[in-house]
Homo-oligomer: A and B are copies of this chain.
Amino acid sequence: MKNKKVVSEFALLARLRRSFVKAGSRLKVAIGDDTAVFEEKQGRSLLATTDMLVEGVHFTSAHSAFKVGQKAVASNVSDIAAMGGKPLYALVSVGFKKTNTLKYAEELLAGIKKEAAKYKVGIIGGDTVSSKVNTVNITLLGEASGKKYALRSGAKEGDFIIVTGELGNGAAALLNGELYIPKIHTAFAEAAVGAGLIHGMIDISDGLSSELHHLAFESGLGAFIDLQTVPVSAFAKRTAARKNKDAYALALNGGEDYNLLFTAAPANIRKIFKLAKGWTKLTVLGVMRNKKSGVKYSGADGELRLLPRKGYDHFA
C-alpha cells in the first residue's frame, strides 16, 4: 500500500491512484492509509492491503529466494499490524522467469509458507505465471474488532511518539547485501489498539523520518523527537562502523525495518509498556505538537532542527 521506489516519471500516479477511491457505505478507509478498511458491521472490520516485490528493484538474484518469500509476506503483515489488525488470508501471485531453477521457485514458495504460518495466515488463492522478471505480489486480508483500528490520522497534540523494537536493521542488512526479515509486532498492536490505547499508527517501511512526517501530516500536526532516544540496533551500529556510515542515518532513513510508529496519550504510557512486555521493546521518541511547530528533532548539540523527510545524513 506504499508508493515505494517508484520511478520519478510516475510521480503523477499518486494522484491518479487517489481518483480510484470509491468509498461506499461499507468502505471506511480507502487508499491513503496502511490498509483499506471495509465491511464494518457486526462488530468487525475487514482490512486489505497489497504489495508487489520485483527482482532488480526490491531484491536481486543474489538474495535467497526463501527470504524473498518471507519478506513478501512480512511487508504485508506489517501493514495489517499498523492498523492494529489480525492478519487472516493471503492471495499470492508469482511471476517466475523461465530460467529459474525449480529449486528457486520451491524455496520462494517455502519462504512464503514459513512466514505465513508464523502469523497464522492462510494462503487461500494465487496465480502462477511466467515473466521476464521474478515478481511476487501478495494481497493480505485481515480483521479488526469493530471500529478499533488505528489510522495515520489519529494522532493528537501532546501524544507521546513511540516506536517498537530497534531501528536500522533493514538498512544494515541492505549494506551487507542481505534481506532483513523483520519480526512484526502484530499481537502487541492488536492488543493495544483493541484496548483503545493507541491514537495514530504507521509501519516503518520507508524509514522513521519519512513515516513520522506521514503521521504528522495525516493528523494535521507537528512532531518533535529527541535523536538521542532513537533505538539504534546493535547490528546497525556494527555495520555502520564497519562501512563507515552514520548509524543514526541508518535508523532514521533506512527503510524496511517494519517496526510500528504510534502515538498515545501520556496517561496511557504505563499501560502500554506493561502490555508490550514479552512482545516488544518500546521507546518513547518524543511528542506530537501543533502543526505550526513543524516536524523537528534535537541532535547531540541540543539544537532543534527541521527533520528532513529523508536524507538526515545531509544534516548535522
Contacts and interface: CB of A to CB of B under 8 A. Distances in A.
Given A102-B10, A128-B13, A122 B23 contact: yes
11 contacts: A5-B130, A6-B128, A9-B100, A10-B130, A12-B105, A17-B126, A20-B123, A48-B89, A48-B125, A54-B95, A55-B132
A49 B6 contact: no
Contacts of A95: 52, 54, 135
Interface residues of A, number: 73
B131 A31 contact: no
Contact of A122 (B27, B50, B109): B27
Nearest to A126: B17
B31 A124 contact: yes
A2 interface: yes
Given A48-B91, A96-B10, A137-B137, A31 B129 contact: no
A277 interface: no
Nearest to A75: B127
Contacts of A49: 91, 125
Contacts of A238: none
A239 interface: no
Given A20-B123, A52-B135, A122-B22, A36 B129 contact: no
A41 to B, nearest CB: 8
Interface in A139-153: 139, 141
Contact of A96 (B2, B7, B51): B7
Given A36-B124, A36-B125, A13 B105 contact: yes
Contacts of A14: 128
For the complex of A and B, list the 8 residue pairs with the smallest distance between their C-beta atoms, beginning with the closest.
A36-B124, A20-B123, A139-B139, A22-B122, A137-B137, A52-B93, A50-B91, A54-B131
A16 interface: yes
A98 interface: yes
A302 interface: no
Contacts of A13: 105, 109, 128
